[in-house]
Amino acid sequence: MTTPVYQNFINGHFLKNQSGETFAVKNPATDEVIYHVEVADAFVQNAAIESAKQGFATWSAMTPIERSRILLKAVELLRARNDELAKIEVLDTGKPWQEAECVDVQTGADVIEYFAGLAPAQVGQQQMVGEDFYYTRKEPLGICAGIGAWNYPLQIACWKSGPALAAGNALIFKPSEETPLGAIKLAEIFFEAGVPAGVFNVVQGAAEVGQWLTQSDDIEKVSFTGEVGTGKKVVASAAGSLKDVTMELGGKSPLLVFDDADISQAVSAAMLGNFYTQGEICTNCTRIYVHKNVYKQFIDELKTRTEQNIIAGDPMNPEVNLGALISKNHHELVMGYIDKGISEGATLLTGGEALKPDSAPNGYFVAPTVFTDCTDDMTIVKEEIFGPVMSVLVFDDEDDAIRRANDTHLGLAAGVFTKDIKRAHRVIHQLQAGICWINSYGNSPAEMPVGGYKQSGIGRENGIETLDHYTQTKSIYVGMTDIESPF
């Protein structure tokens, strides 16, 4: 059976490359090639820049309310095509349908809707300076680049294009080579909604295509989602042309469970924050610090619920709540971390093996895994694993727990479970992380800014402030008095 071949989406249509180079995309749940994609060669790259220049000229000349209207139409189309798009995400990523059906498209559409609403409300300032005055304009940056990770492909494309386009920019987006289709569908939807040709182009390929975007002198900003190591390369490369950068990178986030917490709720948070999307979520609370008085109760309930309530298998089955990891390589990486946890002395409470569910025997599944008796120096406690692997640690002193939680170069997210309202705020204010939850974990509405402290990122996505990251301020001084010149 021949599989489809997708081309790059440039200037409102599919553009054939000249090199003929393609790459294959596999369904992680079946290990089968499902389609091929053409790589963006030099011809496609040049076309992307030229059309983005044209697109930017048209789009930035429109009023914010005109742009808003078009973006809201795209939101309507995204929601109407929810199931078609969610299915693409399931086949590309291996995540369960029961998640994609209600999260991936919806949360992407929410963010575009949010920024479409904000765009017409963005205003400059005006201030008198004696009889003269100045005013400021919020102007778009020009052509921006977005580079996405593979865990939430469509959502990431929406989270970058929403504010970029609302502010009047053009965006060239490169999805991960593992999950390239969602961004193409978004491009079709934008175009159908009335976004002018060239305003949202999709280029395909691996690191080389990403590098080209970070180096191009025609691109003013790069918004990147991916690993810390890649993020450092992107920042270094973007420095060559002094591009503005937004970096959404990895994490190794702590969740602190105090002895007055609702333990069932805390277990729910820990399971969501380690097993949802089979653990491939950047904000995951992979270090769970539990107060010694409730440690046994916590791990007993965690073990029971993990062993009883998780169903791995064909991700398109709506009953399934644990999907396949993104690739064979990633599967090996995660299994390698599990081996390290065992060899470094952690106790395997549950899981720890690769799974071969009857409905998807060739998929890259890993059993939901919990390690107890963990210590802060273990590799599984220090490094981001990006799979369903949780480390549980014990504490008995609040200050010590905070110190240990902060003892990492990462700072993406953190959480605390306690019924003591003063302690909740006191603790969370001391945790060095950009996204924090009290008696909750993982919710990320469009209204809430998200981003990392320390090496987990630069800048923010979502929330009002993000629109500022896609504009530049022009100050205009207006002379109402004669110039006093010494010449």
Q: Annotated active-site positions, please?
A: 160, 248, 282, 461
Residue (25 or 141) nearer to ligand NDP, CB: 25
- Shortest approach of ligand NDP to residue 300 CB, angstroms? 30
d(C-alpha 406, C-alpha 376), whole Å? 11
Q: Which residue is nearest to ligand NDP (CB)?
A: 210
User: Which residues are at the interface with ligand NDP (CB under 6 A)?
Assistant: 147-151, 174, 176-178, 206-207, 210-211, 214, 225-227, 230, 233-234, 248-251, 282, 384, 386, 412, 452, 457
d(C-alpha 12, C-alpha 197), whole Å? 4
* H or E element at residue 132: strand 132-140
Contact 170, 55 (CB under 8 A): yes
Residue (8 or 230) nearer to ligand NDP, CB: 230
DSSP string, 182-210: HHHHHHHHHHHHTPPTTSEEE---SHHHH
DSSP string, 4-47: PEEPEEETTEEE--SS--EEEEEETTTTEEEEEEE---HHHHHH
According to DSSP, the residues that pair with 393 across neighbouring strands are: 289
Cα–Cα distances (Å) from 480 to 124, 264, 303, 483, in that order, read: 20, 67, 74, 9
- Shortest approach of ligand NDP to residue 239 CB, angstroms? 13
d(C-alpha 136, C-alpha 387), whole Å? 47
Task: Kindly give, in sequence order, each residue whose CB lies less than 8 Å from that of residue 162, ignoring residues fewer than 6 positions away.
Answer: 71, 111, 112, 114, 115, 116
Residue (81 or 233) nearer to ligand NDP, CB: 233
Closest CA to 165 of 134, 181, 144, 182: 144
Residue (81 or 382) nearer to ligand NDP, CB: 382
Residue (182 or 457) nearer to ligand NDP, CB: 457
Closest CA to 455 of 250, 150, 244: 250
- Shortest approach of ligand NDP to residue 54 CB, angstroms? 25
- Shortest approach of ligand NDP to residue 155 CB, angstroms? 9
Tell me the three state secondary structure of residue 337: helix
- Shortest approach of ligand NDP to residue 174 CB, angstroms? 6
- Shortest approach of ligand NDP to residue 122 CB, angstroms? 24
Residue (109 or 147) nearer to ligand NDP, CB: 147
DSSP string, 419-463: S-HHHHHHHHHHS--SEEEES--S---TTS-B--EETTEES-BSS
Residue (153 or 352) nearer to ligand NDP, CB: 153
- Shortest approach of ligand NDP to residue 44 CB, angstroms? 15
Closest CA to 166 of 369, 389, 466, 440: 466
